[in-house]
Amino acid sequence: MTRLIFLGPPGAGKGTQAAILAQSLNLAHISTGEILRSAVEAGTPLGQEANTYMSQGNLVPDRVVLGLVQERLENLPDDSQGWILDGFPRNESQARSLDAILAAIAQESYRTLNLDVPDEILIDRLLKRGRQDDSESVVRHRLQVYRDQTAPLIDFYQSRQNLISIDGNAEVTQVTDRIHQAVTQAPAP
């Protein structure tokens, strides 16, 4: 079984690379944003609870997000060869809670990949996306929020010898090759 957590700042290519790798290795691509939207659309109890927060513009509490992630991990397609968590966890508290969930469902063996891209490249990529809310000041703020809240996970996973850093400053296919090589050649923890 291949189980991966993708880390990296906004614009590093996590979603793109997770989708490519998921397809090539038959892994479930688990994005918390997608899980939230699906649960709300399906009207599940956790989806209804998440919607009460989302409809008011508030962040969905960790307890709800963790419940949704656990539901998704427990209900993988039968033909799935594992999973990729894209965009979760976002902080050390979530990482520790995720570890408890994975231990409870006997899926605790996983690897963490960090896509490393210099800030100036990230800013350029994000501005080229052309989203209305992506001014340079907003992009720089998002990167700072990432550095403050999520980047400490790099040290968290590195201290556990469970981090593979990938140079994400290249063409999509080159980054894909680097990730594929790291995943297929590195021993599982």
Catalytic positions are 14, 90, 129, 131, 142
- Widest pairwise Cα distance in the chain: 45
Q: 136-148 b/e with 16+ CB inside 10 Å = b? A: eeebeebbeebee
What does the DSSP assignment read for 117-165?
A: --HHHHHHHHHHHT-TT--HHHHHHHHHHHHHHTTHHHHHHHHTT--EE
Q: Looking at the chain, how many residues does it have?
A: 189
Distance CA 80, CA 18 (A): 14
Dig out the tokens for 148 from the structure.
């403050």
